[in-house]
């Protein structure tokens, strides 16, 4: 159960609700510092639920009370039945349009980045992805250009008008990345980095949250809840493949997760077929599958010279192939009543 | 490497090839009793490959020599670059049309089976699936009607003209099931039941081979190779979900496996979204994903009264929903240049 | 719930019980042809359980009634609280002694087999394992010597007195294998080959049932239930590794499964560290872990010339290393209050 | 290949080595700010390896050159063949003694913590574990007492003399946690939080690095390499279970990982059977398995009132059961030539 207070709820009203919760042997949870006060009621409510809704609904400054049995509350469709549509500089994710975000895995140079940005825009991409801070398995791998990479992304945005999605890895880098990025990406390896989730939860930027490769759908929603419960409601979920015993691909695309998430949450869901397959030859088929299964967007790696990419070349499409793919994606989107 | 002999190759020519293989420290493998003789050459060939091709190509009664480095040989695209199209009573699987096989998990009664058969035919299904011999995790679950189930399926075929796909679980039941079935299904749990694979390898019926839930794509191809190497080249592969840590669905649909298989083998590939999700609410999205990713067919459970099905009710679609799904599948098939 | 009838229960008493079950909206399950009649009661019993026990307990020819909520019934510790001790030619599995079964993966020749048999006996093994019928992923791999292999195993038994464990892959080979084997092994790939399980369920030989690499502990117990429900109560369970994303080993030893199984079932549990690791260098550490975790036995591959083994050489120990391992296993067994 | 410079290597010598590496088409990698300069040579060296070792060995200020083909270098046994023994306030991990770290999942109060600390010390534990900062899947779960928790841990150390292991979740909390902790724990969810790894890599405290539940053994070593390459060589690895399809336990203990890690790295390896099973009833068997398989230590959750623990009660042992377990662990340690 969650209790949503009026925007102007007085502290004494909040305290009264909290005391009432405790007096029933339950625990109140209130996010400190969040503007709109939402009090989660935790503990076993047994058969008293309907009574409780009534009881709390009439307390001062209570806006409404929602019975939500899922572990995630603000992320739940029960709490928010309509699809959330997130507006990023005019690009709407979660609505009728399937939004394609494309670009290089890593920002390597201004020339490369702007070249790829122009190409993906021409092919129909609506956002530019690119990494300036790169989480790499090996400390000896290219770790990204850092702030210089962010500046290059900003120049690519100036050139093309495409909003930027880029990763942030450390809560204390959020201040910096926010100055450049339109969407803050939380990488798969940081899906349960709770310090980072809380920090982006208080950001004014939208957040793209990637599923951890060993994480369940439920855990992804719980991580989204961390961000939502800090007051940032612009959260985009991203399926990017999970680890399984299958070794013919780098990861296993969990295509089931797309409709499961669409049933359980109002948040938009995108698929990253580049990481979920790890092989550019498989990206087109799996990208089409993503659109057909109901994804609200795709995140695709495109590189002008995949064989010499500093990271993930194997899974990056050449701009020509990306343009071909966009053609076929348009047809599939149309077949399921959407547009690209 | 494999050496394909002429259809009328004399025994002494075959023996000469085998002796030549052995003299090089390699091992010949010949399927006894198979009409077209194909000798697989096993062992480490090192750098001598090109020489070996030349050497064997000129031996008497040798048709041609193919260098195939994959563990699977007859199943490989290297061996057979064009798509194999399998004809089942006039229904062609592996060609431009996406073939939908639908029907109840278990055959429960004549009325139910014929009712469902008519409904799925009306909606556009081209084959009827239904289980007479059911592999059940529990010995206390309904095990299928056996031969009576086969007879019911045959009557449904008479009524509708739909060819029948049905499971066979025991090599010694193949004689019986062959009398009724148009396609012999090997279930996931029997994917590595080699006695059964060998037996259906000498059948005149097409075989639908389901991937084991804990089996790699490579192992699926090796199991197909068992059937092919016995001389039966009508093998249809079926992805039906794998076991992973994700617990929001019964299995995880390995959608990547569709394009991987299409790259590696010439055999047709179908997806079973009913088993790969375990939840009828997810079947439409995942069925569409299958078609979008390049599957040559779908296998879908349909039951006229899912809530009272004797098996797998949770994952069976009602005929009305199936008809709706077929509509949307047609649109997706068309978007990827195919028809249903 | 299961209802155990008296050994001499009359058919009319059985029918009366079945009718009473049906009259309550439940389903009776009776194994046809099994001597001791046990009727499983299937369906939702709700809150009536205690009443039902009383009601059926007083019916004619009923011995006793057991409330068993697990899906497996005869395999459950609720049904049979004491450890089952299985006697194979005087070797007792499931008692205080940890029984080591060792031998080559495949029987390759009489000399090899007898040589290894003598070596493992000298080191303290109590049973000889060896494959005559080999389930191989590739149709081009060595498939075992067949009946000649069984004869060699029998000669090794004559020489050493060690009982024989050997695999059977086809229900119609059971007649043959029974003539030679003391324990019928069901391989991992056949764990859900229900025709085979039913056939060995009516054998007089003990059965060693290996867990499928993609199968849950619960499914292993359900497969055991197939054998038990046919009347063969001499079932030994074997953990042999599962498929996971970890790729530094062939399989992942599920060591948790040992105590889980010992809690849930009365049947003896053995560990096969050769398959569960796939690497002879890891076998000693994991074998010791097995004994320390409570396994009732170990199944270990030993080959006199691992580098030239026709199968699984990588995971086979040389007899000298096996003898060293046995020394350390004795110490670990003693540390947990058992002997070897 | 890695090139180890003399401790007093001059900048111009380092530059000369880097230039020489680049002139060969390879890439040098040097950790900035680390005292002992180690230059990793990255790229394909082909057949020139022996030549290269000689060439670099004779350059000024080069101490020695090591050929290491693994992706991890400083963590490799090739680089450091002897076991690393890490001294934490006199407790030596990685030597002949198996070190048991025990304590509550979360620090809940001073009374609880000191009570448990005394009990585990009396039973033979050598370090106290306890969480002050808790990574919790749900934002609505107890998140730990924070700095107050650290103070309580410090008081428990004063009382018992046990060094403290406690988790740090944010690079910017390391300054704080270092003031209290003897070992900084990196939790499974943060195994690939590279900002955090780098920060603890420059700490003077030992680090206990837990394996991510979806991470391969190789990735664990790469994460350790991040810490080592920043100059902190006191890294303890911890297996704590991985996610698999098996659902009878919370995680699957990867017992194979213990000997695999002992073969591949010189770093000490401990097992956390509380998390790797998720069930206190299974902890003793799996703890014994850990010692038998060669683990250098165990990390075990102990709570004085498991049923009312604020986190992980299900997997915590009562102090009495912990004391019993320690008895049996001593016997197993002795059986494998070690002590507790």
**CA distance, residue A194 to nearest chain D CA (Å):** 7
Across the interface, do D285 and C254 touch by the CB < 8 Å criterion? no
The verdict on residue A74 lying in a domain is no
* Mean of pLDDT values over D70-86: 88
B241 chain-D contacts, CB cut-off 8 A: none
CATH number of domain containing D23: 3.30.70.260
**CA distance, residue B250 to nearest chain A CA (Å):** 10
C339 chain-D contacts, CB cut-off 8 A: none
D215 chain-B contacts, CB cut-off 8 A: none
Which of A252, A290, A334 lies at the smallest CB-CB distance from B335?
A334
Size of interface A-C (CB pairs under 8 A): 8
Position B36 scores a pLDDT of 65
Position C66 scores a pLDDT of 83
* Chain centre distance of CA A50: 34
Across the interface, do C336 and D334 touch by the CB < 8 Å criterion? no
* Mean of pLDDT values over D121-149: 91
Position B32 scores a pLDDT of 54
Question: What is the tens place of the pLDDT at every residue in B133-164?
Answer: 988 888 887 788 999 999 999 999 999 999 99
Position A37 scores a pLDDT of 78
D222 chain-A contacts, CB cut-off 8 A: 137-139
**CA distance, residue B249 to nearest chain D CA (Å):** 12
Query: Over 80: is that where the pLDDT of D130 sits?
Result: yes
Position A308 scores a pLDDT of 81
The verdict on residue C76 lying in a domain is no
User: Per CB distance under 8 Å, which residues of B are interface residues toward D?
Assistant: 214, 243-245, 247
Compare all CA atoms of chain D with the CA of B214 and give the residue at the minimum distance.
Answer: D245
Both tokens of residue D173?
A: 């909390």
User: Per CB distance under 8 Å, which residues of D are interface residues toward B?
Assistant: 214, 243-245, 247
* Mean of pLDDT values over C112-134: 96
Question: What is the tens place of the pLDDT at every residue in D103-113?
Answer: 999 999 999 99
Question: What is the tens place of the pLDDT at every residue in D252-273?
Answer: 999 999 999 999 999 999 999 9
Position A66 scores a pLDDT of 83
Q: Are B181 and B209 in contact (CB under 8 A)?
A: no
Distance CA(A190)–CA(A196), nearest Å, equals 8
- Residues B306, B250: one domain? yes
Handedness of CA D241, D243, D249, D252 (dihedral sign): negative
* Mean of pLDDT values over C84-88: 97
Sort strands A269-271 and A235-239 into parallel, antiparallel or unpaired.
parallel
Q: What one-character DSSP code corresponds to residue B336?
A: T
Query: Over 70: is that where the pLDDT of D35 sits?
Result: no
Kindly report the length of chain B. Answer: 340
Q: What one-character DSSP code corresponds to residue B101?
A: E
Q: Are A116 and A155 in contact (CB under 8 A)?
A: no
Position A31 scores a pLDDT of 61
Compare all CA atoms of chain A with the CA of C214 and give the residue at the minimum distance.
Answer: A245
Q: Is A26 helix (H, G, I), strand (E, B) or coil?
A: coil
Compare all CA atoms of chain C with the CA of A214 and give the residue at the minimum distance.
Answer: C245
- Residues B189, B248: one domain? yes
- Residues B35, B177: one domain? no
Distance CA(A56)–CA(A48), nearest Å, equals 12
- Residues C54, C120: one domain? no
The verdict on residue A77 lying in a domain is no
Q: How far is CA B266 from CA B79, B82, B85, B259, in A?
A: 9, 6, 9, 12
* pLDDT by 10s per residue, chain A, length 340: 888 888 888 989 999 999 999 888 888 877 655 566 788 887 776 667 778 888 898 899 998 888 887 788 889 988 888 999 999 999 999 999 999 999 999 999 999 999 999 999 999 999 999 999 988 888 877 788 999 999 999 999 999 999 999 999 999 999 999 999 999 999 999 999 999 999 999 999 999 999 999 999 999 999 999 999 888 999 999 999 999 999 999 999 999 999 999 999 999 999 999 999 999 999 999 999 999 999 999 999 999 988 887 777 789 999 999 999 999 999 999 999 999 9
Position A34 scores a pLDDT of 58
B247 chain-D contacts, CB cut-off 8 A: 247
User: Per CB distance under 8 Å, which residues of C are interface residues toward A?
Assistant: 214, 243-245, 247
- Residues D131, D246: one domain? yes
pTM score of the predicted model: 0.90
The verdict on residue A121 lying in a domain is yes
**CA distance, residue A219 to nearest chain D CA (Å):** 7
Size of interface A-B (CB pairs under 8 A): 135
Residue C115: how many CB atoms within 10 A of its CB? 18
Question: What is the tens place of the pLDDT at every residue in C128-170?
Answer: 999 999 888 888 777 889 999 999 999 999 999 999 999 999 9
Residue A279: how many CB atoms within 10 A of its CB? 18
Domains: count for chain D: 2
Position B161 scores a pLDDT of 97
D31-D33-D36 Cα angle (round to 5)? 70
Nearest alpha-carbon partner for A239 in A227, A226, A221: A221
- Tell me phi and psi for residue C78, to 5 degrees: -65, -40
A245 chain-C contacts, CB cut-off 8 A: 214, 243-245
Distance CA(A229)–CA(A201), nearest Å, equals 7
Residue C35, classified by CB atoms within 10 Å of its CB into exposed (0-12), middle (13-18) or buried (19+), is exposed
Which of A218, A249, A332 lies at the smallest CB-CB distance from B292?
A332
Position C52 scores a pLDDT of 83
Position A32 scores a pLDDT of 54
Size of interface C-D (CB pairs under 8 A): 135
Q: How far is CA A329 from CA A288, A294, A332, B87, B293, in A?
A: 6, 12, 5, 31, 11
D288-D294-D300 Cα angle (round to 5)? 45
Across the interface, do D256 and C277 touch by the CB < 8 Å criterion? yes
- Residues A174, A305: one domain? yes
Distance CA(C207)–CA(C186), nearest Å, equals 7
- Residues D247, D293: one domain? yes
- Residues C145, C55: one domain? no
Distance CA(A280)–CA(A192), nearest Å, equals 28
Question: What is the tens place of the pLDDT at every residue in D214-243?
Answer: 999 999 999 999 999 888 999 999 999 999
The verdict on residue D151 lying in a domain is yes
Q: Are A183 and A165 in contact (CB under 8 A)?
A: yes
Sort strands D269-271 and D235-239 into parallel, antiparallel or unpaired.
parallel
Last residue of a domain, one of C18, C34, C66: C66
Across the interface, do B247 and D244 touch by the CB < 8 Å criterion? no
Both tokens of residue B58?
A: 């000129």
- Residues A43, A109: one domain? no
- Residues B31, B124: one domain? no
Position C25 scores a pLDDT of 82
- Tell me phi and psi for residue A58, to 5 degrees: -95, 5
Which of B71, B140, B170 lies at the smallest CB-CB distance from C171?
B170
C-interface mutation test, from D242, D335, D337, D338, most C Cβ less than 10 A away: D335
Across the interface, do A214 and C245 touch by the CB < 8 Å criterion? yes
Which of D190, D214, D242 lies at the smallest CB-CB distance from A215?
D214
CA dihedral C244→C245→C250→C256, nearest 10 degrees, is -40
**CA distance, residue A224 to nearest chain D CA (Å):** 10
Q: What one-character DSSP code corresponds to residue B316?
A: P
Position C143 scores a pLDDT of 84
| Residues pairing with C29 in the sheet | C40
Which of D248, D253, D288 lies at the smallest CB-CB distance from C292?
D288
Position A254 scores a pLDDT of 98
Domain extent at residue C30? 2-66
Concatenating the DSSP letter of every residue in D233-296 gives: --EEEEE--B--S--SSSSB-BTTHHHHHHHHBSS-EEE-HHHHH--TTTHHHHHHHHHHTT-S
Give the position of tokens 């046994």.
D77
Nearest alpha-carbon partner for B254 in B235, B234, B269, B236: B269
User: Per CB distance under 8 Å, which residues of B are interface residues toward C?
Assistant: 29, 40, 42, 71, 73, 135-140, 169-173, 189-196, 212-216, 219, 222-223, 225-226, 229, 242-243
**CA distance, residue C247 to nearest chain A CA (Å):** 8
How much of chain C exceeds pLDDT 70, in percent? 97
* pLDDT by 10s per residue, chain B, length 340: 888 888 788 989 999 999 999 888 888 877 655 566 788 887 776 667 778 888 898 899 998 888 887 788 889 988 888 999 999 999 999 999 999 999 999 999 999 999 999 999 999 999 999 999 988 888 887 788 999 999 999 999 999 999 999 999 999 999 999 999 999 999 999 999 999 999 999 999 999 999 999 999 999 999 999 999 888 999 999 999 999 999 999 999 999 999 999 999 999 999 999 999 999 999 999 999 999 999 999 999 999 988 887 777 789 999 999 999 999 999 999 999 999 9
CATH number of domain containing D182: 3.20.20.70
Position A38 scores a pLDDT of 81
**CA distance, residue B242 to nearest chain D CA (Å):** 9
- Residues B157, B288: one domain? yes
Q: Are A61 and A9 in contact (CB under 8 A)?
A: yes
Q: B23: which residues sit within 8 A by CB, 6+ positions away?
A: none
Handedness of CA B122, B124, B126, B132 (dihedral sign): negative
Distance CA(B140)–CA(B146), nearest Å, equals 16
Task: Give chain D's mean pLDDT.
Answer: 92
The verdict on residue B148 lying in a domain is yes
D277 chain-C contacts, CB cut-off 8 A: 256
Angle between helices B11-23 and B49-57 (to 10 degrees): 160
| Residues pairing with D164 in the sheet | D128
Position B81 scores a pLDDT of 86
Last residue of a domain, one of B32, B66, B100: B66
D40 chain-A contacts, CB cut-off 8 A: 140
Kindly report the length of chain D. Answer: 340
Distance CA(B37)–CA(B60), nearest Å, equals 13
Across the interface, do D293 and C289 touch by the CB < 8 Å criterion? yes
- Residues C54, C195: one domain? no
Last residue of a domain, one of C20, C38, C66: C66
Compare all CA atoms of chain C with the CA of B211 and give the residue at the minimum distance.
Answer: C214
Position D185 scores a pLDDT of 98
Angle between helices A283-292 and B283-292 (to 10 degrees): 150
Position C78 scores a pLDDT of 82
The verdict on residue A270 lying in a domain is yes
Question: What is the tens place of the pLDDT at every residue in C33-61?
Answer: 556 678 888 777 666 777 888 889 889 99
- Give the count of alpha carbons within 13 A of C307, CB side only: 0
| Residues pairing with B2 in the sheet | B40, B66
Position C36 scores a pLDDT of 66
Position C28 scores a pLDDT of 84
Give the position of tokens 């603000």.
A74
The verdict on residue C165 lying in a domain is yes
Distance CA(D67)–CA(D69), nearest Å, equals 6
């Amino acid at each position: 159960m969650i209790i949503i207070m009026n925007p102007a709820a007085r502290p004494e009203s909040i305290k009264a609700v909290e005391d009432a919760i405790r007096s029933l042997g339950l625990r109140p949870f209130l996010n400190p510092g969040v503007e709109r006060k939402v009090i989660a009621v935790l503990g076993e409510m047994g058969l008293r639920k309907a009574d409780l809704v009534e009881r709390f609904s009439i307390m001062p400054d209570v806006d409404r009370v929602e019975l939500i049995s899922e572990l995630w509350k603000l992320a739940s469709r029960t709490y928010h039945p309509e699809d959330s549509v997130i507006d990023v500089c005019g690009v709407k994710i979660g609505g009728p349009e399937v939004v394609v975000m494309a670009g290089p895995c890593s920002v390597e140079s201004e020339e490369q980045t702007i070249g790829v940005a122009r190409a993906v825009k021409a092919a129909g991409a609506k956002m530019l992805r690119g990494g300036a801070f790169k989480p790499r398995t090996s400390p000896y791998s290219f770790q990204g250009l850092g702030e210089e990479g962010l500046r290059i992304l900003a120049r690519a945005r100036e050139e093309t008008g495409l909003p930027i999605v880029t990763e942030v890895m450390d809560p204390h880098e959020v201040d910096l990345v926010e100055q450049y990025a339109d969407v803050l990406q939380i990488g798969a390896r940081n899906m349960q980095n709770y310090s980072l989730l809380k920090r982006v939860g208080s950001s004014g930027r939208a957040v793209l949250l990637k599923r951890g490769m060993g994480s369940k759908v439920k855990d992804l929603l719980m991580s989204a809840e961390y961000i939502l419960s800090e007051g940032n409601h612009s959260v985009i979920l991203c399926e990017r493949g999970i680890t399984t015993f299958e070794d013919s691909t780098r990861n296993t695309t969990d295509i089931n997760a797309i409709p499961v998430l669409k049933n359980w949450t109002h948040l938009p869901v995108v698929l990253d077929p580049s990481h979920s397959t790890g092989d550019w030859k498989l990206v087109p088929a799996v990208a089409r599958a993503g659109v057909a299964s109901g994804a609200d967007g795709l995140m695709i790696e495109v590189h002008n010279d995949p064989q010499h990419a500093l990271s993930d070349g194997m899974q990056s499409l050449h701009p020509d192939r990306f343009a071909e793919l966009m053609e076929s994606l348009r047809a599939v989107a149309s077949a399921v009543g959407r547009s690209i």
